[in-house]
C-alpha cells in the first residue's frame, strides 16, 4: 500500500511489473518468480525485494537500485522496461544468461549509474564506447563474458571509477595507458584475457590502486616488483 511517506513513481512501478510479466512468460523455474513475489500492483515498489528507492522528503521516491541477478534473464528485450528507469544509480544483472552485444542505445539512457554489474553472462562483441560515457560509474564489472578486441583508450574517461573487473574475457592488444587517468581506481582485474606487450609504468604507479591482477594473459612486460609498485597485492603472469 502506498503512503504519503513512501511511494514510488507510478511509471517506474509499471515498468518493473512489465519486466516481471516478461519473466512469467518465459520457461523459468517457479522459484525465480517466487523471488519477485513482493512485486505486486497492490504494494509500493519501494517496499519490494531487490529494489531500493532514494530517501527523500518528497512524497514520491525514485527507484535507484535494482538487483536482478540470478533471474535466468536470457534476452535484453526483457530488460527494455528497466532501461526506462533513468533514476537508477545501481543495476546488477549479473549471473544471468544474457547473450550477444550490449544494447548501448538503451543502456546509455542510465546516465546516473554509479554501479553496473553485468558479470557472468554470455555477452560478446567489443565493449561499446558508449559505455565509457557513463562517467558517474564507480563500480564496473564485466567479468566472465566473451568480450573481444582491444580495450579502448576511452576507458580513461571513467574518472570516478574505483573498481574495474574485466577478467575472464577475450580482450587483446596492449593494456591502454589511459587506465592511469582513473586516479581513484583501487581495484583492477584484467586476468584471463589475451593482453600482451608492455604494462604502462603509469598504471603501476597509480597512488590509490590496492589490487592489480594480470594473471593468465599473453606475455606481459613490465617492472612488477620494483619500489614503485603501489598495490598491496599485485599479480602477474611473469
Contact 168, 191 (CB under 8 A): yes
The position carrying cell 596492449 is 174
What are residue 189's DSSP bridge partners? Answer: 165, 213
Domains of the chain in sequence order: 98-235 (3.80.10.10)
Angle of CA points 7, 9, 14, to nearest 5°: 115
In tens digits, the chain (238 residues) has pLDDT values of 555 445 899 999 999 999 999 988 776 666 777 889 999 999 999 999 999 999 887 889 999 999 999 999 999 999 999 999 999 999 999 999 999 999 999 999 999 999 999 999 999 999 999 999 999 999 999 999 999 999 999 999 999 999 999 999 999 999 999 999 999 999 999 999 999 999 999 998 999 999 999 999 999 887 654 444 544 445 544 4
For residue 82, count CB atoms less than 10 angstroms from its CB and return exposed for 0-12, middle for 13-18, buried for 19 or more: buried
CA angle 187, 136, 152 (to 5 degrees): 65
Amino acid at each position: 500500500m502506498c503512503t504519503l511517506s513512501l511511494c514510488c513513481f507510478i511509471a517506474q512501478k509499471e515498468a518493473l511489473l512489465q519486466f516481471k510479466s516478461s519473466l512469467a512468460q518465459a520457461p523459468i523455474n517457479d522459484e525465480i518468480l517466487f523471488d519477485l513475489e513482493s512485486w505486486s500492483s497492490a504494494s509500493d515498489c519501494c517496499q519490494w525485494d531487490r529494489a531500493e528507492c532514494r530517501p527523500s522528503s518528497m512524497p514520491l521516491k525514485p527507484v535507484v537500485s535494482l538487483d536482478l541477478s540470478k533471474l535466468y534473464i536470457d534476452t535484453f528485450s526483457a530488460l527494455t522496461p528497466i532501461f526506462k528507469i533513468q533514476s537508477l544509480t545501481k543495476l546488477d544483472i549479473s549471473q544471468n544468461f544474457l547473450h550477444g552485444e550490449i544494447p548501448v542505445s538503451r543502456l546509455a539512457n542510465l546516465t546516473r549509474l554509479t554501479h553496473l554489474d553485468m558479470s557472468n553472462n554470455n555477452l560478446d562483441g567489443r565493449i561499446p564506447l558508449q559505455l565509457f560515457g557513463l562517467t558517474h560509474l564507480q563500480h564496473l564489472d564485466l567479468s566472465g563474458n566473451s568480450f573481444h578486441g582491444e580495450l579502448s583508450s576511452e576507458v580513461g574517461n571513467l574518472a570516478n571509477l574505483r573498481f574495474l573487473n574485466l577478467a575472464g574475457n577475450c580482450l587483446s592488444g596492449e593494456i591502454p595507458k589511459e587506465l592511469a587517468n582513473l586516479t581513484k581506481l583501487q581495484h583492477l582485474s584484467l586476468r584471463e584475457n589475451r593482453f600482451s606487450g608492455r604494462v604502462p609504468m603509469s598504471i603501476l604507479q597509480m597512488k590509490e590502486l590496492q589490487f592489480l591482477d594480470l594473471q593468465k594473459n599473453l606475455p606481459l612486460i613490465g617492472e612488477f616488483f620494483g619500489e614503485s609498485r603501489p598495490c598491496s597485492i599485485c599479480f602477474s603472469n611473469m
